[in-house]
C-alpha cells in the first residue's frame, strides 16, 4: 500500500525541531480487534462482580457493531452517528436500528448538544468494547425486563467505570504483557523512520499516559529489535514522559518527577528538562526548558480529545493524528467506486426529470392552463423509481464500509462529526505512523484549497 499523509493545514517538516509521540495506538500498534475482545471479556467479569446478571457471560463480542466517532445517548440507551453539524444521521437502540420516523419522534431536534453530559463520545479506537457492551446490556434489558438492570444512564456509567478499572488495575496490561505477539503489531519501518529523522537532527520524545513498566515492556519488544544506529530505545528518544495526564498535560501545571530507568523508582525533579525518563509534568515545561516556539513541535497521537483537540486549543503545537481505520476506509472507497459512479449517473438522469416536473407544475399553478396530469404522474413515478434504485445502491455502498454505520469519515453527503473534528484540529493525518516516517524529514505538506459553495460553480 502507498504511504500517504493527508493535509488539513500547511506544515513544513523542516521547521519542526521536536517530534512528540503518543505510545498506545500511535507508536505502538495493537491488533485492535483482539485487544478490544480482551477488554470486552474483562468488562463482562467486572460487571458481573458489580451485580449485573449472569446472562452477560453469554455476550459475544462484535468488533464491527460500533465505529469511532459515535455518540452514546446515556439516558435513552441509544447509539448515534452524527454529521459535522452534530445532526443525527443514524441511530440504534440496543442491537436494532431506529427508523427515521421513530428517530424524529424521540429527538425533537436532530441536533445534539455534545456539551450535555447525557451524551458521551466514542472517540478512541479502544472504546469500541465500551459501546458494544452498552448496547448489548440495553438489548438484554429490553428482551428480559424482569432482570435487575439499572437505568440506561447508570449502565453507561458502570460500563465506563469498569473499563477504566480494567485499564487502571493492570488487568488489561497484564494480559497484553503475557502474550505480546497476540496483541502488539511490530513494525520495522517505524523504527527505521525514527532513526532517519534523528539523522536530520530532529529530536524525538514520548508523552504517554501509560506507566514506565508497561512502556518498557512494549519498547523492548517492538523497538529494540529493529534499531541500527542506537543500542536501545533509551538512546533513540530524547526524553520519555510517562503517566502524563493527557489532556490535562496540555493545559495544567503539573509537577515533573524523574524515573530511575533501572528500578522504576521516582524522585522529585526541579532542574531544567534534559534527556531521561520522567513521570507527570506538563507541556509548558517542554516549551520553557527547551526554549521552543510552540510551532516548532509536532505532536502525533491517535486520540482526538486526549491527544489532539486540547493540545491545539491550549498549546498551539502542530498536530498529527493516526487514524488506523483509514486504510480500510480508503480501500473501500476504491472498491465501491463502480457503485458510486452508478449513483452519480442516476442522479444525472433524475435532474432533467425534476426540471421538467417543476416546469409542468409551475405552469399548472401559475397559468391555470390545462396541463397533462398523466404526464406529471408518469414523471413522478420515474423519479420515484430512480430514488428507490439510488436508496438500494447507497445501502450496498455503505454496508461495504460497516454494515451498521457505513463510512467513518462521512455521514450521508456530509462529513461525519469525527471527520469534522479531525479536519479542525489535526494539521495532518494518516493511517499509521510509518506513513509519515517513511517520508523525508524535509517534506513540505501543502494544504489543498477548499472551495466555498459559491466557488464550485
Q: How far apart are CA 452 and CA 434, in angstroms?
A: 33
Q: Is 216 in the site for Mg ion (CB under 5 A)?
A: no
Q: Which is nearer to Mg ion, 302 or 435 (CB)?
A: 302
CA angle 291, 238, 298 (to 5 degrees): 60
Using CA atoms, how far apart are residues 360 and 381, in angstroms rounded to an integer? 15
Quick one: which segment of 76-84, 158-166, 262-270, 295-303 binds Mg ion (CB under 5 A)? 295-303
Task: State which residue, 22 or 435, has the beta carbon closest to Mg ion.
Answer: 22
Using the minimum distance from each CB to Mg ion, give the nearer residue, 28 or 47: 28
Q: Which of 158, 302, 329, 415 binds Mg ion (CB under 5 A)?
A: 302
For the CB of residue 322, give the shortest distance to Mg ion in the complex, in Å.
8
Which is closer to Mg ion, CB of 90 or CB of 309? 309
Q: How far is the CB of 287 from Mg ion (least distance, A)?
A: 22
Contact 256, 280 (CB under 8 A): yes
What mask, x for binding Mg ion by CB under 5 A, covers residues 382 to 421? ----------------------------------------
Stretch that binds Mg ion, among 20-28, 37-45, 100-108, 312-320 (CB under 5 A): 20-28
For 227-259, letters b (16+ CB in 10 Å) and e give beebeebbebbbbbbbbbebbbbbeeebebbbb
Minimum Å distance from CB 433 to Mg ion?
A: 11
Nearer to Mg ion, 24 or 120 (CB): 24
Any idea which residue has 516516517 for its cell? 437
26 closest CA partner among 126, 158, 151: 126
Only one of the segments 40-48, 299-307, 325-333, 423-431 lies at the binding site for Mg ion (rule: CB under 5 A); that segment is 299-307
Nearest CA among 230, 224, 221, 222 for reference residue 199? 230
In whole angstroms, how far apart are CA 136 and each of 126, 152, 313, 341, 405?
17, 11, 36, 37, 16
Q: Cα–Cα distance between 111 and 196 in angstroms, integer?
A: 47
Could you say whether residue 68 binds Mg ion (CB under 5 A)? no
Angle between helices 32-49 and 128-143 (to 10 degrees): 50
Nearer to Mg ion, 25 or 68 (CB): 25
Strand partners, 127: none
C-alpha 434 chain-centroid distance: 18
Question: Is residue 123 a contact residue for Mg ion (CB under 5 A)?
Answer: no
Instruction: Return d(Cα 154, Cα 13) in angstroms, integer.
Output: 47
Nearer to Mg ion, 408 or 433 (CB): 433
**Contact criterion met (CB below 8 Å) for 165 and 46:** yes
25 interacts with Mg ion by CB under 5 A: yes
Whole-angstrom distance, CA of residue 272 vs CA of residue 290: 8
325 binds Mg ion (CB under 5 A): no
Which of the stretches 16-24, 114-122, 141-149, 170-178 binds Mg ion when contact is defined by CB under 5 A? 16-24
Question: For Mg ion, which is the closer residue by CB, 22 or 36?
Answer: 22
CA angle at 208 for the pair 205 and 211, rounded to the nearest 5°? 120
Using the rule CB under 5 A, give the single segment among 19-27, 91-99, 144-152, 228-236 that binds Mg ion: 19-27
276-280 β-sheet, strand order: 6-7, 428-430, 318-322, 297-301, 18-21, 203-207, 239-242, 276-280, 256-259, 266-268
Select from 171-179, 272-280, 300-308, 421-429 the region that touches Mg ion (CB under 5 A).
300-308
| Closest separation in Å from C-beta 208 to Mg ion | 7
Q: Exactly one of 24, 158, 324, 415 binds Mg ion (CB under 5 A); which one?
A: 24
Nearer to Mg ion, 36 or 302 (CB): 302
Per CB under 5 A, the list member of 22, 324, 415, 435 interacting with Mg ion is: 22
Count of residues that interact with Mg ion, criterion CB under 5 A: 4
Toward Mg ion, which CB reaches closer, 226 or 305? 305
- Work out whether 329 is an interface residue with Mg ion (CB under 5 A): no
Residues forming the site for Mg ion (CB under 5 A): 22, 24-25, 302
Amino acid at each position: 500500500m502507498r504511504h500517504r499523509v493527508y493535509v488539513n493545514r500547511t506544515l513544513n517538516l523542516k521547521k519542526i525541531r521536536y517530534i512528540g509521540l503518543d505510545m498506545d495506538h500511535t507508536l505502538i500498534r495493537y491488533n485492535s480487534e483482539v485487544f478490544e475482545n480482551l477488554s470486552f471479556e474483562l468488562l463482562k467479569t467486572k460487571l458481573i462482580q458489580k451485580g449485573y446478571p449472569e446472562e452477560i457471560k453469554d455476550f459475544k463480542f462484535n468488533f464491527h457493531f460500533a465505529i469511532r466517532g459515535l455518540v452514546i445517548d446515556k439516558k435513552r440507551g441509544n447509539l448515534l452517528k452524527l454529521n459535522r453539524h452534530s445532526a443525527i444521521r443514524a441511530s440504534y437502540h440496543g442491537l436494532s436500528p431506529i427508523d427515521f420516523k421513530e428517530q424524529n419522534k424521540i429527538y425533537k431536534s436532530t441536533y445534539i448538544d455534545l456539551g450535555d453530559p447525557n451524551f458521551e463520545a466514542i472517540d478512541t479506537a479502544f472504546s469500541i468494547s465500551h459501546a458494544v457492551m452498552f448496547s448489548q446490556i440495553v438489548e438484554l434489558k429490553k428482551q428480559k425486563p424482569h432482570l435487575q438492570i439499572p437505568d440506561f444512564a447508570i449502565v453507561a456509567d458502570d460500563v465506563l467505570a469498569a473499563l477504566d478499572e480494567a485499564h487502571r488495575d493492570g488487568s488489561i496490561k497484564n494480559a497484553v504483557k503475557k502474550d505480546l505477539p497476540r496483541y502488539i503489531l511490530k513494525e520495522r519501518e517505524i523504527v527505521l523512520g525514527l532513526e532517519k529523522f534523528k539523522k536530520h537532527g530532529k529530536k524525538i520524545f514520548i508523552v504517554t499516559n501509560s506507566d514506565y513498566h508497561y512502556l518498557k515492556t512494549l519498547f523492548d519488544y517492538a523497538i529494540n529489535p529493529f534499531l541500527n544506529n542506537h543500542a536501545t530505545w533509551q538512546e533513540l528518544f530524547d526524553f520519555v514522559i510517562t503517566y502524563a495526564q493527557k489532556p490535562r498535560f496540555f493545559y495544567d501545571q503539573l509537577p515533573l518527577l524523574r524515573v530511575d530507568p533501572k528500578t522504576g523508582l521516582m524522585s522529585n525533579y526541579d532542574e531544567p528538562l534534559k534527556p531521561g525518563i520522567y513521570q507527570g509534568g506538563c507541556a509548558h515545561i517542554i516549551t520553557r526548558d527547551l526554549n521552543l516556539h510552540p510551532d516548532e513541535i509536532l505532536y502525533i497521537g491517535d486520540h482526538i480529545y486526549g491527544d489532539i483537540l486540547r493540545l491545539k486549543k491550549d498549546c498551539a503545537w502542530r498536530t498529527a493524528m493516526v487514524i488506523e481505520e483509514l486504510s480500510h476506509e480508503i480501500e473501500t472507497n476504491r472498491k465501491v467506486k463502480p457503485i458510486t459512479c452508478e449513483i452519480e449517473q442516476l442522479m444525472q438522469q433524475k435532474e432533467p426529470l425534476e426540471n421538467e416536473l417543476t416546469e409542468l407544475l409551475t405552469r399548472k399553478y401559475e397559468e391555470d392552463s390545462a396541463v397533462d396530469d398523466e404526464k406529471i404522474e408518469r414523471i413522478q413515478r420515474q423519479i420515484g423509481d430512480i430514488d428507490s434504485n439510488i436508496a438500494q445502491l447507497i445501502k450496498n455502498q455503505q454496508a461495504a464500509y460497516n454494515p451498521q454505520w457505513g463510512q467513518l469519515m462521512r455521514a450521508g453527503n456530509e462529513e461525519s462529526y469525527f471527520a469534522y473534528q479531525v479536519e479542525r484540529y489535526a494539521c495532518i493525518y494518516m493511517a499509521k505512523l510509518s506513513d509519515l516516517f517513511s517520508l523525508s524529514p524535509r517534506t513540505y505538506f501543502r494544504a489543498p484549497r477548499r472551495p466555498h459553495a459559491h466557488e464550485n460553480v
